[in-house]
Amino acid sequence: MSDLDTFRADTRAWLEENCPAEMRQPARGDGDACWGGRKFEFSSDAQKQWLERMAAKGWTAPMWPADYGGGGLSAAEAKVLQQEMARINARPPLSSFGIWMLGPALLKFGTEAQKKEHLPPIVRGEIRWCQGYSEPGAGSDLAGLQTKAVDRGDHYIINGQKVWTSYADQADWIFCLVRTDPSAPKHKGISFVLFDMDQPGVEARPIKLISGYSFFCETYFTDARAEKKNLVYEENKGWDVAKYLLGHEREMISGMGLGGGGGKPLPAMAKDAVGEEADGRLADPLLRAEIAMFEVRSAAYRAQAERFADEFKAGRGNPAQPSMMKYYGTELNKRRNELVMAAGGSDALEWDSEESGGGKKARDWLRSKGNSVEGGTSEIQLNIISKRILELPS
Amino acid sequence: MSDLDTFRADTRAWLEENCPAEMRQPARGDGDACWGGRKFEFSSDAQKQWLERMAAKGWTAPMWPADYGGGGLSAAEAKVLQQEMARINARPPLSSFGIWMLGPALLKFGTEAQKKEHLPPIVRGEIRWCQGYSEPGAGSDLAGLQTKAVDRGDHYIINGQKVWTSYADQADWIFCLVRTDPSAPKHKGISFVLFDMDQPGVEARPIKLISGYSFFCETYFTDARAEKKNLVYEENKGWDVAKYLLGHEREMISGMGLGGGGGKPLPAMAKDAVGEEADGRLADPLLRAEIAMFEVRSAAYRAQAERFADEFKAGRGNPAQPSMMKYYGTELNKRRNELVMAAGGSDALEWDSEESGGGKKARDWLRSKGNSVEGGTSEIQLNIISKRILELPS
Amino acid sequence: MPLYLTEDQEMLRDSAEGFVREKAPVAHMRKLRDADDGTGYDPALWREFAEMGFTSILMSEDEGGLGLGHVEAGVVMEEIGKNLTPSPLLSTGIAAVAALKHGGAQHRDKWYPKIAAGEAVAAIAVDEGAKHDPAATAMTAARSGNGFKLSGRKTFVTHGHVADLLIVAARTGGSAGDADGITLFAVEKGAKGLKADPRRLADASIAARLEFDNVEVTADAVIGEVDGGWGPLNALLGAGRAAASAEMLGVGQGAADITVNYLKERKQFGVPIGSFQALQHRAAHLYAELEVARAAVLKAQQLLDEGSEKAHKAVHVAKAMTGWTTTLAVQEGVQMHAGVGMTDEYDIGLYMKRGRTLAELFGDANYHADRLAREAGY
Amino acid sequence: MPLYLTEDQEMLRDSAEGFVREKAPVAHMRKLRDADDGTGYDPALWREFAEMGFTSILMSEDEGGLGLGHVEAGVVMEEIGKNLTPSPLLSTGIAAVAALKHGGAQHRDKWYPKIAAGEAVAAIAVDEGAKHDPAATAMTAARSGNGFKLSGRKTFVTHGHVADLLIVAARTGGSAGDADGITLFAVEKGAKGLKADPRRLADASIAARLEFDNVEVTADAVIGEVDGGWGPLNALLGAGRAAASAEMLGVGQGAADITVNYLKERKQFGVPIGSFQALQHRAAHLYAELEVARAAVLKAQQLLDEGSEKAHKAVHVAKAMTGWTTTLAVQEGVQMHAGVGMTDEYDIGLYMKRGRTLAELFGDANYHADRLAREAGY
- pLDDT in 10s for each residue of chain C, 378 residues: 899 999 999 999 999 999 999 999 999 999 999 999 999 999 999 999 999 999 999 999 999 999 999 999 999 999 999 999 999 999 999 999 999 999 889 999 999 999 999 999 999 999 999 999 999 999 999 999 999 999 999 999 999 999 999 999 999 999 988 999 999 999 999 999 999 999 999 999 999 999 999 999 999 999 999 999 999 999 999 999 999 999 999 999 999 999 999 999 999 999 999 999 999 999 999 999 999 999 999 999 999 999 999 999 999 999 999 999 999 999 999 999 999 999 999 999 999 999 999 999 999 999 999 999 999 999
- CATH number of the domain within which C97 lies: 1.10.540.10
Mutate to test the interface with C, among A293, A349, A372 (most CBs of C within 10 A): A349
Let me know if B354 is a catalytic residue.
no
User: Alpha-carbon dihedral of residues B208, B209, B214, B218, nearest 10 degrees?
Assistant: -60
Domain span holding position B26: 3-95
Distance from the first to the final alpha carbon of chain D:
32
Does residue D51 carry a pLDDT above 90?
A: yes
Look at residue D1 and tell me if it is in a domain.
Answer: no
Q: C194, C228, C262: which is the final residue of a domain? A: C228
Given a contact cutoff of 8 angstroms between Cβ atoms, the answer to whether A294 and D368 are in contact is no
Choose among B331, B379, C265, A247: nearest CA to D277: B379
Per DSSP bridges, beta strands D206-217 and D147-158 are antiparallel
Could you please report the per-residue DSSP string of D72-135? HHHHHHHHHHHHT---SHIIIIIIIHHHHTTS-HHHHHHHHHHHHTT---EEEE---SSS--GG
The predicted pLDDT at position D300 comes to 98
What is the mean pLDDT for each group of 10 consecutive residues in chain B (394 residues)? 91 97 82 92 95 97 96 92 93 94 96 97 97 89 94 97 94 97 95 97 96 93 97 96 86 56 79 92 97 98 93 83 94 96 97 94 96 93 96 95
Residue C235 φ then ψ, to 5°: -65, -45
Assess whether A378 and A268 both reside in one domain: yes
Report the candidate in B255, B374, B327 with the shortest Cα–Cα distance to residue C285.
B327
Give the three-class secondary structure for B138. Answer: strand
Cβ neighbours of A281 in B, within 8 Å: 285
Task: Check which CATH number belongs to the domain holding C177 and give it.
Answer: 2.40.110.10
Residues C95 and C168 in one domain: no
Question: Do residues D223 and D309 share a domain?
Answer: no
Q: For residue B207, what is the DSSP state? A: P
Residues B316 and B369 in one domain: yes
Instruction: Reduce the DSSP state of residue D213 to 3 states and report it.
Output: strand
pLDDT band of residue D49 (cuts 50, 70, 90) is very high
Same domain? B23 vs B82: yes
- Judge: B379–D201 Cβ closer than 8 Å, yes or no: no
Q: CATH number for the domain including C250?
A: 1.20.140.10
- What's the CA gap between A36 and A39, in Å, rounded? 8
Domain count of chain B? 3
From the CB of residue B214, how many other CB atoms can be counted at a distance below 10 Å? 15
B201 neighbors B221 (Cβ within 8 angstroms)? yes
Q: How far is A351 from chain C (nearest CA, A)?
A: 5
Q: What angle do helix axes C365-375 and C311-341 make, rounded to 10 degrees?
A: 160
Please tell me whether residues A132 and A90 are part of one structural domain.
Answer: no
What pLDDT does B318 receive? 81
* H/E stretch holding A81: helix A75-87
Query: Which residue, of D120, D148, D165, is where some domain finishes?
Result: D120
Which has the minimum average pLDDT: A11-20, A134-143, C347-356, D291-300? A134-143
**B286 → chain A, closest CA residue:** A289
The answer to whether A77 and A7 have CB atoms below 8 angstroms apart is: yes
Which candidate in B281, B282, B288, B307 is best for mutational testing of the C interface (most C CBs within 10 A)? B307
| Terminal alpha carbon distance of chain C | 32
Domain final position from B169, B201, B236: B236
Question: Which member of D129, D202, D365 has the closest CB to residue B351?
Answer: D202
User: Distance from D281 to chain C by nearest Cα, in Å?
Assistant: 7
In a domain, B185, yes or no: yes
Using CA atoms, how far apart are residues B97 and B170, in angstroms rounded to an integer? 12
Confidence bin at A261 (pLDDT 50/70/90): very low
User: What Å distances lie between residue A163 and A208, A215, A217, C263, D172, CA to CA?
Assistant: 12, 11, 6, 20, 71
Q: Is A378 on the interface with C (CB under 8 A)?
A: yes
Domain boundary residue, one of C228, C254, C270: C228
**Residue A280 sits in the same domain as residue A202:** no
Choosing from B77, B84, B249, B290, which is the catalytic residue? B249
**C129 and C95 both lie in a single domain:** no
- C284 with C209, same domain: the answer is no
Let me know whether C364 and C245 are in one domain: yes
Q: What is the largest CA-CA distance in chain A?
A: 79
Instruction: Return the bridge partners of B193, or none.
Output: B176, B231
* Residues B282, B274 contacting (CB under 8 angstroms): yes
Residue A250 falls inside a structural domain: no
Select from A164, A275, A362 the Cβ nearest to the Cβ of C339: A164
Q: Give the residue on A whose Cα is nearest the Cα of D303.
A: A303
Q: Which chains border A (3 or more CB–CB pairs < 8 Å)? A: B, C, D
pLDDT of residue B260: 45
The C-alpha R_g of chain A, in whole angstroms, comes to: 23
Q: How far apart are CA A157 and CA A149, in angstroms?
A: 5
Q: Does any CB of chain A come closer than 8 Å to the CB of residue C370?
A: yes
Q: Is D309 a member of any domain? A: yes
The closest of B384, B257, B244, B247 to B324, measured between CA atoms, is B384
In tens, the pLDDT along D92-113 reads: 999 999 999 998 899 999 999 9
In a domain, A91, yes or no: yes
Number of domains in chain D: 3
Q: Which of A203, A236, A269 is the last residue of a domain?
A: A236
Tell me the nearest-neighbour CA distance from D274 into chain C, angstroms.
Answer: 12
ipTM for the complex shown: 0.94
Strand partners, A225: A157
Say whether residue A296 is in contact with chain B using an 8 A CB cutoff.
no
Judge whether C314 and C303 are in contact, CB under 8 Å.
Answer: yes
Phi, psi of D40 (to 5 degrees): 100, -5
Query: How far from the centroid of its chain's Cα atoms is residue B313's Cα?
Result: 20
Asked whether the predicted pLDDT for residue A137 surpasses 90, the reply is: no
- Expressed in percent and rounded to 5, the helix, strand and coil fractions of chain D are 55, 15, 30
Contact partners, residue A196, CB within 8 Å, separation at least 6: A172, A173
Closest by alpha carbon to C328, among C300, C349, C352? Answer: C352
| Co-location of A70 and A177 in the same domain | no
Closest CA of chain B from D206, distance in Å: 9
Find how far residue A365's CA is from the centre of its chain.
18
Dist. CA D107–CA D63, nearest whole Å: 12
Q: Same domain, yes or no, for A227 and A272?
A: no
Domain shared by C258 and C346, yes or no? yes
pLDDT at residue number A27:
74
Same domain, D245 and D298: yes
Spell out which residues of chain B touch residue C288, defining contact as CB-CB under 8 Å.
Answer: 324, 327-328, 385
3-state secondary structure of A388: helix
- Assess whether C154 and C179 both reside in one domain: yes
CA distance, residue C285 to nearest chain B CA (Å): 7
Query: Do the domain assignments include residue A243?
Result: no
Same domain, B272 and B378: yes
**CA torsion sign, B287 to B290 to B295 to B298?**
negative
Our CA-based measurement puts residue A169 at a distance from the nearest CA of chain D, in whole angstroms, of: 37
DSSP per-residue string spanning C156-199: EEETTTT-SEEEEEEESSS-TT-STTEEEEEEETT-TTEEEEEE
Together in a domain, B229 and B130: yes
Q: Which one of C281, C286, C336 would you mutate to disrupt binding with D, by most D Cβ within 10 Å of its Cβ?
A: C281
Tell me the C-alpha to C-alpha distance, in Å, between residue A29 and each of A188, A216, B264: 41, 17, 54
Identify whether residues C281 and C329 lie together within a single domain. Answer: yes
Residues A147 and A227 in one domain: yes
CA distance to B185, C311, D321, per residue, from A194 (Å):
56, 66, 46
Nearest by CB to residue D129, choosing from B273, B372, B377, is B273
Q: Name the residue facing D317 among A296, A308, A328 (closest C-beta).
A: A296
Domain that holds residue C197: 123-228
- Tell me whether residue D280 is in a domain: yes
Compare CB distances from B346 to D127, D276, D369 and report the shortest one's residue.
D127
Neighbours of A391 (CB within 10 A): 10
| A117 domain residue, yes or no | no
Q: What is the pLDDT of residue B255?
A: 53
- d(C-alpha A257, C-alpha A306), whole Å: 10
Closest in D274, D287, D377 to A393, CB measured: D274
Spell out the SS3 assignment of D338-374: HHHHCECCCCHHHHHHHHHHHHHCCCCHHHHHHHHHH
3-state secondary structure of D295: helix
CATH number of the domain to which A30 belongs? 1.10.540
How long, in residues, is chain B?
394
Q: Pick from D189, D180, D205, D196: which is nearest to D80 by CA?
A: D205
Contact A285 B288 (CB under 8 A): yes
Say yes or no: A384 and A273 in one domain.
yes
Q: Taking the CB of residue C10, how many other CB atoms lie within 10 A of it?
A: 12
Tell me the average pLDDT of chain A: 93
Distance from CA of A84 to the nearest CA of D (A): 21
**Catalytic-role residue among A84, A249, A251, A290:** A249
Distance CA C327, CA C286 (A): 11
Minimum-distance CB partner of A385 among D277, D288, D295: D288
C317 near B CB under 8 A: yes
pLDDT value for C97: 98
Q: Note whether residue B111 is domain-resident.
A: no
Give me the CATH number covering residue B336.
1.20.140.10
How are beta strands C165-171 and C122-125 bridged, if at all? Answer: parallel
Domain co-membership, A207 together with A282: no
Residues C249 and C269 in one domain: yes
Q: List alpha helices for B262-377, DSSP H.
A: 266-274, 285-313, 321-344, 360-368
Tell me which chain B residue has its CA closest to the CA of residue A288. B286
Q: Are residues D131 and D114 in the same domain?
A: no
In this complex, do A386 and D284 lie within 8 Å of one another by their Cβ atoms? yes
Neighbour-count burial for D204-228, b at 16+ CB within 10 Å, e otherwise? bbbbbbbebeebebeeebbbbebbb
For residue B94, give Cα distances in angstroms to B69, B127, B128, B370, D304.
Answer: 14, 12, 10, 23, 61
Give the neighbours of chain B: at least 3 Cβ pairs within 8 Å: A, C, D
Residue % of chain A over a pLDDT of 90 = 82
Give C215's contacts (C-beta < 8 A, 6+ positions apart): C149, C150, C151, C187, C191, C192, C193, C194
Task: List D residues 265-304 in contact with A (Cβ-Cβ < 8 A).
Answer: 271-272, 274-275, 277, 279-281, 283-285, 287-289, 291-296, 298-299
Alpha carbon separation from D43 to D19, D46, D78, D89, D118 (Å, rounded) = 16, 5, 20, 12, 8
Rounded to the nearest angstrom, the gap between the alpha carbon of residue D10 and the centroid of all alpha carbons in its chain is 21
Residue B241, in any domain of the structure: no
Cβ-contact D185, D168 below 8 angstroms: yes
**Residue C268 · residue B370 · CB < 8 Å:** no
**Neighbouring subunits of D (3+ Cβ pairs under 8 A):** A, B, C
Same domain, C238 and C361: yes
The answer to whether residue C66 is domain-embedded is yes
Return the closest-CA partner of residue D125 out of D149, D155, D151: D155
φ, ψ of residue B42 to 5 degrees: the values are -65, 140
Task: Provide, as residue numbers in chain B, all residues whose Cβ is less than 8 Å from the Cβ of D282.
Answer: none
Asked if D296's CB is within 8 angstroms of A292's CB, the reply is: no
